[in-house]
């Protein structure tokens, strides 16, 4: 968890494959701990072929069964099916917007909003925001699943679209 925080969480991401991976992992995390997902991350990457959206969008029934038999990942049929469907929606949206990062810019333009200097602890970090709620609604209209506002906000934090590092953290840039 420390390594993830120190090296990845909140660092801006613009690469479509990495954005898709993070969104997929946040979706798989629903109802589970993030630590569980991080422990299984390499298995997820192997199982989902590096999270290349074009590859995942082409997965068929045999791939679904392969994924559900893979003890290295979270074997939830609804989340597996959602990830495959989300790859198709991701490709369509990325193509129309000129990339998923550009699409996200329409909701959270750079630079990312940051916590105020007086933020004292985890209680000061939101679990969702009106922006995350609007993005969640828009993604669902576009065919995405498992993208509720809390998942979307965690995704935005993960990929550096919001900066919720606390004052005192070496990554805090307030």
Q: Kindly report, residue by residue over 56-111, the tens digit of the pLDDT.
A: 999 999 999 999 999 999 999 999 999 999 999 999 999 999 999 999 999 999 88
Give pLDDT, residue 164. Answer: 83
Give pLDDT, residue 114. Answer: 81
Residues 27 and 61: their CA atoms lie apart, in Å, by 20
Please say if 103 is a catalytic residue: no
Per the CB < 8 A criterion, the answer to whether 131 and 107 are in contact is yes
Out of 20-24, 125-129, 146-150, 167-171, which region has the weakest mean confidence (pLDDT)?
167-171
Residue 174 has pLDDT above 70, yes or no: no
Please say if 42 is a catalytic residue: no
Please say if 4 is a catalytic residue: yes
Residues 118 and 166: their CA atoms lie apart, in Å, by 9
Residue tagged active-site, from 9, 26, 103, 153: 26
Other Cβ atoms less than 10 A from the Cβ of 71: the count is 7
- Paired tokens of 161: 């679209």
- Paired tokens of 96: 């129309």
Note the pTM of the prediction, 2 decimals.
Answer: 0.94
CATH number belonging to domain 2-158 = 1.10.340.30
- How long, in residues, is the chain? 174
Per the CB < 8 A criterion, the answer to whether 131 and 108 are in contact is yes
Q: What's the mean pLDDT in 128-139?
A: 97
The larger pLDDT score, comparing residue 169 to residue 156, is at 156
Residue tagged active-site, from 4, 18, 133, 172: 4
Residue tagged active-site, from 8, 34, 133, 172: 34
């Amino acid at each position: 968890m420390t390594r993830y925080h120190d090296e990845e969480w909140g660092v801006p991401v613009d690469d479509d494959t990495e954005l898709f991976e993070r969104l997929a992992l946040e979706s798989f995390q629903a109802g589970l701990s993030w630590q569980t997902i991080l422990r299984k991350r390499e298995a997820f990457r192997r199982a989902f072929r590096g999270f290349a959206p074009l590859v995942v969008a082409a997965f068929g029934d045999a791939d679904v069964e392969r994924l559900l038999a893979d003890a290295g990942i979270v074997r939830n049929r609804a989340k597996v099916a959602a990830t495959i469907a989300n790859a198709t929606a991701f490709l369509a949206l990325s193509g129309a917007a000129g990339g998923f990062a550009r699409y996200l810019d329409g909701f959270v333009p750079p630079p990312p909003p940051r916590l105020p200097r007086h933020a004292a602890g985890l209680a000061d970090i939101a679990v969702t925001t009106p922006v995350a709620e609007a993005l969640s609604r828009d993604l669902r209209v576009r065919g995405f699943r498992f993208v509720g506002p809390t998942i979307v906000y965690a995704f935005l934090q993960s990929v550096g679209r919001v900066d919720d590092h606390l004052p005192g953290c070496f990554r805090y840039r307030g």
